[in-house]
Amino acid sequence: MASKLHFSLVSPAKELFSGEVDHVIAPGTEGEFGVLVNHAPFMTTLKNGVVRVLENDTTKMRLFVRGGFADVTPAGLTILAEEAVDLSSVDAAKVDAELEEAKNKLAAEGKEGPHVATLRAQVDYLSDLKSAIVH
C-alpha cells in the first residue's frame, strides 16, 4: 500500500507542485483540513489562504492560494487554485506596494465603479497574502 500522498497544485498559469508528500493542510471554505494518504474521497471549495506541505511533520513548503477547489481521490489530492504563489519566492515589499496601489485604485473607483468587485477582491487577496508572509 502506498505510504505517500500524491499531491499536485495547479493554477491556470502553471503547475506549481506535483509529487509525493506525507501530509497537506489546506484552507477549505468551511475550515482548514489536513489530507493524509488514503483519505476518503472529498471535495471542497477553498478560500484565500496557505497550503502547507508537510514532510515528517515539518513544513516543507508553504503556498498561498487564492480560492479554488480541492479534490481528494484514491489517486491523491489535486488543488485547482485560481492563483497561487510559493511563499518562499514572494517579496514582501513588492506585495506591500501592490496592496497600496490596489487600495488607491479602489479609493479612486468610488463606490459604484464597474471594477469595484474585482478591485476589492484584489485588495482582499493582497492583504491575506501579506498576513501570510508575516507568519
Partner 1 sequence: MPSLKDLKNRINSVKSTRKITKAMQMVAAAKLKRAQDAAAASRPYAQRMASVVANLAGSMGEGSSGPKLLSGTGSDQTHLVVVLTSERGLAGGFNTYVVKEARRLIAELAGAGKTVKILTVGKKGREQLKRDFSELFVGHLDLSDVKGNDYSEAGIGLGKEITGRFESGEFDVATLVYSQFKNVLSQVPVAQQLIPAQAPENAVTIDLKGATYIYEPSQEEILETLLPRYINTQIISAMLESGAGEQAARMTAMDNATRNAGEMIDDLSMEYNRARQAQITKELIEIISGAEAL
Query: Is 11 among the residues that bind partner 1 (CB under 8 A)?
Result: yes
Shortest spacing between CB 134 and partner 1, in angstroms: 28
- Which CA distances in Å does 10 have to 65, 110, 131, 133? 10, 34, 22, 21
Q: Judged by CB, which is closer to partner 1: 10, or 87?
A: 10
* Region class of 49: left (phi > 0), else alpha (psi between -120 and 50), else beta: left
Question: Which lies closer to partner 1 via its Cβ, residue 12 or residue 96?
Answer: 12
Count of alpha carbons within 13 angstroms of residue 29, beta-carbon side: 9
Under the criterion CB under 8 A, does residue 75 sit at the interface with partner 1? yes
Site for partner 1 in 13-32 (CB under 8 A): 13-15, 18, 28-30
Helix (H) or strand (E) holding 45: strand 42-46
Residues linked to residue 61 through DSSP beta bridges, in sequence order: 53
CB of 92 to partner 1, least distance (A): 25
Which C-beta is closer to partner 1: that of 29 or that of 131?
29
Which residue is it, cell 471549495? 45
Question: Does the footprint of partner 1 cover residue 43 (CB under 8 A)?
Answer: yes
Question: In the complex, which residues of this chain contact partner 1 (CB under 8 A)?
Answer: 8, 10-15, 18, 28-30, 40-45, 69, 71, 73-75, 78, 80
